[in-house]
Chain A
């Protein structure tokens, strides 16, 4: 696998890769710098300024409670990224563990794990997330858990497939034949070789997780008010769409740009890491 510097360089050479990288970096910076950039307190209701159009004081206008949309959007970036990273982190870790065990040892363990993943796969993903949250109760933590669970089967499958294909290479067969223990084979030889598809999967899962969180919040089952989430902001905007269209436009644009950036980055990353797949 190429070094990180080399990957970044190649990514930057590709125009799409550049766009994706810049987009993702911008979102990250927005969320990290949220306290610095935002202009107002996000829950403070400026009751005399309800539903104001975007202007000097309120860059993106205010909502029906008189809250500053701009600051809420900035903090919304933070929420989206937090939920995205943690839920994908959960899914990636469990997916890695299950996938490696399943792929390396095969046999009944593999069967058991894959059957379980098949059952999870049998649910449309947003439905499963909504269902889990309906049982656990809507909260930011439960949203992360739900999205994490929903994404685990995909990671498990990807990792398992990579492990199986790497396992059968002569390289690994010779490692086993000289008697190396499974743990060291897995850690030192198999995992480095499956990093490419794994990384691409992470980037794409991030965009999916952000989308799922936004959808769930839109439906009222994700991030609960008054915490800002682009999805719930978009939902709340529907009642006031005709008189305050900016309430809908800003969250929509930010959601779309964020997901777009991650998808573009994921695609370019895939091209860089595995050019054979490039068509």
Chain B
């Protein structure tokens, strides 16, 4: 079992190299010159040479890449163009916030999506099924920035409610923290619950079509046992995969949610850096987020082998 995990972790390395290369190369496409952006109107050859040396831009490309990546794996993501602060510690600090948001959203989406999906499957083709499917469709079709904006509009205009301004950490003041985080988590969670609902429904229905369900019924099982003991457990596998993939879109959706609700997470950091053309920060953030996503999917894969005895440790 452990050798399998280690093998999979090692297999991550080429992917990470690929990702980092990709990020590095994309940034080379930037038209114009990073240094000009920093210098502004003042074209000063000395200053330019200094800055070039400082940011290592006078080196050949491959050396630049190697410098960056070899430092990055050791946790040194360099410094911001704008603030000259170290990038990595800030990424970690902000990641904790985004992670909290992501986990809350994922939990909400499962709490809503899985039961409704099962209900939809059991009551297939009845009006209950119809309603759940419409809810799922809305979840998938309403973009989170739209639902967030409308929610804020509704809360302020109709209910006169304004969420607390100014972020507070969970361990500082849990109740205020929850008040701040719960709205974006609900937005992201309900958005994702649409696909969880659909996947649960189709997965459960797919399992119910299998031969062994006949056998279970023929043994005298109640429908509850058929659904919850057999259909759901078997159906969990594609649902887990979906959740893993959705973590990715949650990480992306966090960018929007953090913007709207002013949450100082990793998404907002990335967005701000993009807007400010702070490329070392952009590089670092994107690399980190992609890495987390790949790791999450790996964990999901390993979870598989736990759940499904047919998959052997190769």
Q: Is the interface of B mostly helix, strand, loop or mixed?
A: helix
Given contacts A241-B152, A245-B157, contact A135 B30 (CB under 8 A): yes
Interface residue? B286 (CB, 8 A): yes
Chain A hits for B5, CB < 8 A: none
Which residue of A is nearest B156, CB measured?
A: A242
Question: Do B29 and A135 touch across chains, with their CB atoms under 8 A apart?
Answer: yes
Chain B hits for A242, CB < 8 A: 156-157
Interface residue? A124 (CB, 8 A): yes
Cα separation A87 to B229 with both chains bound (whole Å) = 44
Option from A127, A237, A238 in Cβ contact (under 8 Å) with B255: A127
Which residue of A is nearest B27, CB measured?
A: A135
Which residue of A is nearest B204, CB measured?
A: A279
Chain A hits for B270, CB < 8 A: 127, 130
Given contacts A127-B251, A127-B255, A130-B255, contact A248 B149 (CB under 8 A): yes
- Min Cβ gap B8→A in Å is 14
Chain A hits for B260, CB < 8 A: 238
- Min Cβ gap B168→A in Å is 23
Interface residue? B38 (CB, 8 A): no
Range of interface residues on chain A? 35 or more
Given contacts A119-B18, A132-B26, A220-B275, contact A124 B289 (CB under 8 A): yes
Most chain A beta carbons < 10 A, residue from B27, B138, B255: B255
Option from B15, B137, B275 in Cβ contact (under 8 Å) with A264: B137
Cα separation A180 to B28 with both chains bound (whole Å) = 44
Given contacts A137-B31, A214-B143, contact A126 B252 (CB under 8 A): yes
Question: Do B157 and A237 touch across chains, with their CB atoms under 8 A apart?
Answer: no
Question: Do B26 and A260 touch across chains, with their CB atoms under 8 A apart?
Answer: no
Among A193-233, those with CB < 8 Å from B are 207, 211, 214-215, 218-221, 231
Range of interface residues on chain B? 35 or more
Among A60-90, those with CB < 8 Å from B are none
Question: Do A219 and B271 touch across chains, with their CB atoms under 8 A apart?
Answer: yes
Interface residue? A21 (CB, 8 A): no
Which residue of A is nearest B297, CB measured?
A: A122
Question: Do A135 and B26 touch across chains, with their CB atoms under 8 A apart?
Answer: yes
Question: Do A122 and B143 touch across chains, with their CB atoms under 8 A apart?
Answer: no
Which residue of B is nearest A258, CB measured?
A: B141
Interface residue? B303 (CB, 8 A): no
Question: Do A215 and B256 touch across chains, with their CB atoms under 8 A apart?
Answer: yes
Question: Do A248 and B150 touch across chains, with their CB atoms under 8 A apart?
Answer: yes
Chain A hits for B249, CB < 8 A: 124-126
Interface residue? A234 (CB, 8 A): yes
1/0 per residue, CB under 8 A from B, across A255-266: the answer is 110011001100
Chain B hits for A123, CB < 8 A: 19, 248, 286, 289-290, 293
1/0 per residue, CB under 8 A from A, across B134-159: the answer is 00011011110110011011001100
Given contacts A137-B31, A207-B141, contact A122 B157 (CB under 8 A): no
Question: Do B252 and A214 touch across chains, with their CB atoms under 8 A apart?
Answer: no
Cα separation A267 to B133 with both chains bound (whole Å) = 11
- Min Cβ gap A267→B in Å is 8
Option from A130, A214, A245, A259 in Cβ contact (under 8 Å) with B145: A214
Interface residue? A165 (CB, 8 A): no
- Min Cβ gap B37→A in Å is 12
Which residue of B is nearest A204, CB measured?
A: B140
Cα separation A266 to B75 with both chains bound (whole Å) = 44
- Min Cβ gap A129→B in Å is 9
1/0 per residue, CB under 8 A from A, across B281-297: the answer is 01000100110011000
Interface residue? A131 (CB, 8 A): yes
Q: Give 9 pairs: A residue, B residue, CB < 8 Å, sorted on A.
A: A122-B294, A123-B289, A126-B256, A127-B286, A130-B271, A218-B145, A221-B274, A242-B157, A279-B124
Interface residues of A (CB under 8 A from B): 115-116, 118-120, 122-127, 130-132, 134-137, 207, 211, 214-215, 218-221, 231, 234-235, 237-238, 241-242, 245, 248-249, 252, 255-256, 259-260, 263-264, 267, 279
Interface residues of B (CB under 8 A from A): 14-15, 18-19, 22-23, 26-27, 29-31, 124, 137-138, 140-143, 145-146, 149-150, 152-153, 156-157, 201-202, 205-206, 248-253, 255-256, 259-260, 270-271, 274-275, 277, 282, 286, 289-290, 293-294
- Which 7 pairs show the lowest CB-CB distances between chains A and B? A124-B252, A126-B252, A119-B18, A134-B274, A124-B248, A260-B141, A279-B205
